[in-house]
Structure formats: structure tokens, C-alpha cells
Amino acid sequence: MDIKSAEFIISNTDYLKCPDSKLPEYAFIGRSNVGKSSLINMLCNRKDLAMTSSRPGKTLLINHFLINKNWHLVDLPGYGYATAGKKMRDQLQDIIESYILNREQLTCLFLLIDCRHEPQKIDLEFMEWLGENGVPFSIVFTKLDKLTHAKGKSNVQAYKDKLSEQWEELPPIFLTSSEKRTGRDEILGYIEGINKT
Ligand code: GTP
Ligand code: MG
């Protein structure tokens, strides 16, 4: 899919105030600092469409972007932001959960995982919660450029092995680097395939 246009539409904390539209929506979620906003910029060929930061907790709102005038891409706040206070963490969790459970336009959630880390309890529990609630999701491994090819491959395989203990069937899995622009065609092709059906 070519990205012909990408425009920021609105930020908010309340799913009820998200754009009143029937367009299909694809959202990006994952731990704070995993690279959600960077991936969105890479997919859209834009440097600063979504704001990024080396410090966790940059994205604190639900951000809607309109792509090619026919689908929405959504940048969500990260979860498990360790240095935020409990109140803020709970607030962010509420924002994320109510959006995911109530937003009917949500077509697929991309769950981002940093390929450098072992499977983390918080991510595995989040996937379990998605499964229990019947939310369609895919897994996106991020920051592949930070590992050698062999190490990246073995980490991803270890992750798949761990998931296979819990899931009979694995969701679609994408390997990406926003730095090197890896995985862009695969993710956009996947979205295009769903939008066509
Ligand atoms: P929050 O909004 O705080 O939850 O973070 P986020 O998940 O949106 O992460 P963001 O895109 O802001 O990136 C966090 C940091 O990781 C930034 O310093 C990015 O430059 C860096 N980063 C993101 N993706 C990649 C990647 O593919 N490769 C490398 N080397 N760095 C990356
Ligand atoms: Mg962000």
C-alpha cells in the first residue's frame, strides 16, 4: 500500500470522543517506550507525525490519524510505565481498556514487543486479556536493528515457543525496525488485505 496522505485528526482520553466515523481502525499498543510512535512514523513515511521520546510515557492520549482518507491509525499510550505513579498508571489503563473494549471500528490491534527482552509477564497477561475479550491482535517485534540477525531470530523463536505454551494458534507476527524501516511492507500489506475484504 502506498501512503498518499497521513493527517493528525484528534487526541483525547475518552473513546466516546474519538472520530465519529465508520472507517476501519488499526491501533498500536505495548509497553511504554517499546517504539509505537516511531513505528507509526515509519509506516507513514513521516518524521514527526506521532511524537516520540527516549523517555517513557510520551504518548498519554488516544491519537487518531487519517490515512489515505480511508482508514484510521491510532497511537495509544504505553502500559506498565514504571516510573508513573499508581494513579496515573490506573488512569492510562482505564483509557486503553475502555478504548479497546468499546471502539467498534477497531479492526486489529498491533501489540508491540521489544525483541531484546525475554517474554514479560505484563505482555503475556495483556495478550491473555485480549484473548478473553475476543480482541483481534497481531504481534510486532520492534527494534530488530539493536540485535544481530541471529540473536533477533533466536529471541523471536524463543518468544514464539513461550506463546505456544499458552496459545493453540499464534497470531500474525511482524519483525520490524523503525530505524532501518524493516517490516513496513508487511504491516501495510496486511492492513490493505483486511481493508479489501
Ligand atoms: P510511549 O509513547 O512513551 O509509550 O513510547 P513509544 O512506545 O511510543 O516509543 P517511541 O516511539 O517514543 O520510542 C521510544 C524510544 O525508542 C525512542 O528513543 C526511539 O528513537 C527508540 N526507538 C523506537 N523504535 C526504534 C527502532 O526500531 N530502533 C531503534 N534503534 N530505536 C528505536
Ligand atoms: Mg508513543
Mutate to test the pocket of ligand 1, among 41, 51, 52 (most ligand atoms within 8 A of CB): 52
- Does residue 36 have a pLDDT over 90? yes
Q: Do the domain assignments include residue 143?
A: yes
Which protein residue has the closest C-alpha to ligand 1 atom 20? 54
Specify the pLDDT at position 145: 98
Query: CATH number, domain at 156?
Result: 3.40.50.300
What pLDDT band is residue 82 in, cutting at 50, 70 and 90? Answer: low
- Residue 128 falls inside a structural domain: yes
In a domain, 102, yes or no: yes
Decide if 183 is inside a domain. yes
The 3-state secondary structure of the chain, one letter per residue: CCCCCEEEEEEECCHHHCCCCCCCEEEEEEECCCCHHHHHHHHHCCCCCCCCCCCCCCCCCEEEEEECCCEEEEECCCECCCCCCHHHHHHHHHHHHHHHHHCCCEEEEEEEEECCCCCCHHHHHHHHHHHHCCCCEEEEEECHHHCCHHHHHHHHHHHHHHHHHHCCCCCCEEECECCCCECHHHHHHHHHHHHHC
In a domain, 86, yes or no: yes
pLDDT, tens digit (0-9, with 9 covering 90-100), for 87-112: 888 888 889 999 999 999 999 999 99
- Residue 58: pLDDT above 70? yes
Say which range, 84-88, 102-106, 134-138, 146-150, has the weakest mean pLDDT: 84-88
Is residue 34 situated within a structural domain? yes
Residue 1 lies in a domain: no
* Ligand 1 pocket mutation pick from 38, 175, 187 by most atoms within 8 angstroms of CB: 38
Contact 145 CB / ligand 1 (< 6 Å): yes
CA of 56 to the centre of ligand 1 (A): 9
Cα 76 to ligand 2 centre (Å): 7
Split into its structural domains, the chain has a count of: 1
Q: Is residue 170 part of a domain?
A: yes
pLDDT in tens, 159-184: 999 999 989 999 999 999 999 999 99
Range of the domain at 22: 6-196
Task: Assign 80 a pLDDT band (cuts: 50, 70, 90).
Answer: confident
